[in-house]
Structure 1
């Protein structure tokens, strides 16, 4: 059995009197692509925000490679090896794609002021390495030709590709993808799906929340379904498609 790299146990979140997530548990195995789906209002976004660290849980715990990260903020989770993308990418529009990529690099010696004077060769070497890595990732997502263009020229789909490349600058072992297909045209969506597969094949684990069921079915090894803030069902894509409770949740308005 594959090692569990990300695990949530009994997660709950209340916003005043509203229970958004209740007693929600899931686990993601190393190298897996796990999908998180559910009808509108099911609690998916809150669950995702809990895992990403942008929302603190009212109950439960989150573990990354066996270590409790429940109280860690997002930047500490990134340092621990878990990155995330956003449903609406927000690159720095006036900066070039390459500059946007370089800003995402973690733990550079040159970030410390005096290191630029005491270890200039090391700083220069790391800068060259970061540039090479950024250009390679831009090439991976078919944006290399735009490396020196400002990010404002990108389409919505290209911004999603840039977002995926940016998160990989931090070398995460686990990536949370927030609705990667939203706003992406069909041709770029195929590129995005292929790039996710390529990165996954190199050992990166993915958890994605997505409304595009076709994309989820094509990409995911397993699917977790939420309704009314709780776990409804989990299984392989074909099992989920046949499950009466899932069909009722989507067609019968269980989470309305």
Structure 2
């Protein structure tokens, strides 16, 4: 599969299933200021959706709500037909939702490989007594995690740097490392926060190709991105928001040409 390959439309059988992730009329206020207000969106199973808006539109706050690091003041969040509005991030990960950040912050002095191993989930070795009561199981899980981490480093083209400290990575390589670390949790829904930001053109192509492959494997993806050319290559649907509210949705071309979206960008948002 090449980077130019667009995702296929969501099959009817998928569209009939519960959305992978859904926000229903979410609102979030900070000291009385509404940062997100009556915002709804959904991502169908196997769909790739772009989320756009001017700076200050509330996109990252939406991600924080969906990922569980913030709780909404009003509204509901559903994952695969199950309401999770009050659940913390670790429960969202257990339900198959993981996210990246606009600015990756790897553990700088740990090796690239060790950074991936941090993302392994449900390890019995993290429990004190399991190391004494079930050492064989702990060793098997550690080996499986190590094998998986090495495979993911190969997937994101970082294998030659596996034993280098993460501080030596470029901005684009850190984005690839963070994607690989997210994949250690086997998510079915991936929230990507500005994956193209600070990435040179060569590594951006690698990143786009990997996102297409993941979507082709059936993973649902919601990405915040200012790069409309990238969104046009990746997404069949884009949702625009401004001032914390829904503004428009449709194909990338339709949304880019929408007068309300143009006005929001020219007006500078908030």
TM-score when normalising by structure 2: 0.91
Aligned equivalent of 1:120: 135
Matched, 1:174 2:183: no
The alpha carbon displacement at 1:120 in A equals 1.9
The alpha carbon displacement at 1:32 in A equals 0.8
Q: Give the unaligned 5+ runs of structure 1.
A: none
SS in structure 1 at match of 2:56: coil
Aligned equivalent of 2:227: 212
2-structure distance, mates of 1:97, 1:237: 35
The alpha carbon displacement at 1:35 in A equals 0.6
TM-score when normalising by structure 1: 0.96
2-structure distance, mates of 1:10, 1:31: 23
Q: Deviations over 1:7-62 (max 9, x none)?
A: 10010111123111111101100111111001122111211211111121111010
Aligned equivalent of 1:37: 52
Aligned equivalent of 1:101: 116
1:169-208 matches, cutoff 5 A: 169-208=184-223
1:158-169 matches, cutoff 5 A: 158-169=173-184
- Whether contact under 8 Å (2:28, 2:73) holds in the other structure is yes
Matched, 1:11 2:26: yes
Q: Deviations over 1:42-92 (max 9, x none)?
A: 111211211111121111010001111111111111111100111111111
- The root-mean-square deviation of aligned C-alpha atoms, in Å, is 1.2
The alpha carbon displacement at 1:117 in A equals 2.3
Matched, 1:245 2:260: yes
2-structure distance, mates of 1:171, 1:144: 20
2-structure distance, mates of 1:149, 1:75: 28
Aligned equivalent of 1:137: 152
SS in structure 2 at match of 1:215: helix
**Worse-matched range after superposition: 58-67 or 206-215:** 206-215
1-structure distance, mates of 2:136, 2:110: 26
2-structure distance, mates of 1:232, 1:241: 12
The alpha carbon displacement at 1:118 in A equals 2.2
1-structure distance, mates of 2:126, 2:61: 33
- Whether contact under 8 Å (2:172, 2:200) holds in the other structure is yes
Aligned equivalent of 1:149: 164
Aligned equivalent of 2:64: 49
2-structure distance, mates of 1:207, 1:48: 9
Aligned equivalent of 2:7: none
Q: Deviations over 1:143-195 (max 9, x none)?
A: 01111111111001100000000000000110111111111111111111111
2-structure distance, mates of 1:116, 1:16: 46
1-structure distance, mates of 2:45, 2:239: 16
2-structure distance, mates of 1:57, 1:22: 10
